[in-house]
Amino acid sequence: MTGNAEWIKRGEQVFVGTYSRFPAAMVKGRGCRLWDADGREYLDFLAGIAVCSLGHCHPAVTEAVCRQAGELMHVSNLFHTRPQIELAELLTQNSFADRVFMANSGAEANEAAIKLARIHAGEGRFEIISLSGSFHGRTLATVAATGQPKFHQGFEPLPEGFIHAGFGDPAALEELISDKTCAILCEPLQGESGVRPLEPEYLQAIRNLCDKHNLLLIFDEVQTGLGRTGTLFAHEQLGVTPDIMTLAKALGNGLPIGAMLTTDDIAASLGVGTHASTFGGNPVAAAGAVAVLKTMLAPGFLDQVRERSAYFMERLEEVAARFPHLATGVRGRGLLLGLVLTEKGCDLGMDIVNQLFARGVLINFAGGRVLRFIPPLIVEAEDIDLLIDRLVEVLNGC
């Protein structure tokens, strides 16, 4: 049987080199565990970058996908399909939204939101303000919206109409609003820049600015949505409702699917032919997403996420207290948590990640400052304890 080394060698000969990959070819997953081509087992606290929130090969999702693949895989959006309609009904019944546009990814969902904001505002109002440290995707428009210059380098000139406001300063944000502004775009919690939560007061101030200046508020919940922070959508626990919301990642538990949600009034601005997606919400991905939502909406599921979050945060705070020369504390919500590192710890961040990988534990280093933990939402206390034990082993050697 071909092992890691052979698969890696073959892959390096054929792929464009846009990824820095771990030296493992994953071949099987179950729950919070992965196995590579050499048969090695890993405890997964990365979850496909916040995607496999029900764990790998969740039985309900697997059954729904296999059943649908045997019935109907694709017809395009020139036709109605049952799984897509069921999914849109679940999303609207459990959110502020009345209407849904289906896409294939978070970047595509954000593109749809950007186009909707511009066409709804009308001619001359096209600027969108986002926040420094934000991440909204890898297409040219969503890269331009992303408030991290490192993602812009080499792709200039970027599409115009995107402005970045300093993080946490509503007054500075308001100074950027002009008669060209149509929307403010933000994540309720910035994941990629280092697990930085936006406090409720800050989000409410942004909401107030949108209302004052007749702007749309867009929440990018690609990473924070679908139970990740302990409620179905992160904004629910923050007391602020957007006009548009984008989802992806956990929606399909591994299948490519995204969604842009909004109200009847705003959705009316996107008429027939103004936007489209050949594969968006295809029957197989939509069937999987229906199973995901039904599982997450079952009684007790989100309660358990919050319980696991409290326990995990407590254990991480113990680590921070034990290693003050390496960590300053813990931040995040739900099961999107970060161990904030000191200057010395930051220098060792990737080394810590790699040492954990060598011990069979998967996490990542976000924003050059934080060890990020995004396990499947079905994670058990025993899994958290094992992660903590391995992390302490590594930090003891730093």
Residues, the chain: 398
Backbone angles phi, psi at 40, to 5 degrees: -80, 140
Secondary structure class of 245 (helix, strand, coil):
strand
The answer to the question of whether 366 is labelled as a binding residue is: no
The answer to the question of whether 269 is labelled as a binding residue is: no
Q: Are 152 and 143 in contact (CB under 8 A)?
A: yes
Q: Name the DSSP class of 154.
A: T
The answer to the question of whether 277 is labelled as a binding residue is: yes
Strands (DSSP E) along the chain, which ranges? 26-30, 33-36, 41-44, 99-103, 127-131, 162-165, 181-186, 189-190, 196-197, 216-220, 244-247, 258-262, 327-333, 336-341, 361-362, 364-366, 370-373
The answer to the question of whether 168 is labelled as a binding residue is: no
The answer to the question of whether 106 is labelled as a binding residue is: yes
* CA 317 to mean position of chain CA atoms: 24
Distance spanning both ends of the chain, measured CA to CA? 37
The answer to the question of whether 221 is labelled as a binding residue is: yes
Which residue from 333, 338, 324 is spatially nearest to 369, judged by alpha carbons? 338
The answer to the question of whether 71 is labelled as a binding residue is: no
The answer to the question of whether 222 is labelled as a binding residue is: yes
Which residue from 106, 137, 315, 314 is spatially nearest to 225, judged by alpha carbons? 106
Burial label, 124 (beta-carbon count in 10 A; 0-12, 13-18, 19+): exposed
Q: Which residues are annotated as a binding site for pyridoxal 5'-phosphate?
A: 106-107, 135, 220-223, 278
Binding site for N(2)-acetyl-L-ornithine: which residues?
Answer: 138, 277
Binding residues: 106-107, 135, 138, 220-223, 277-278
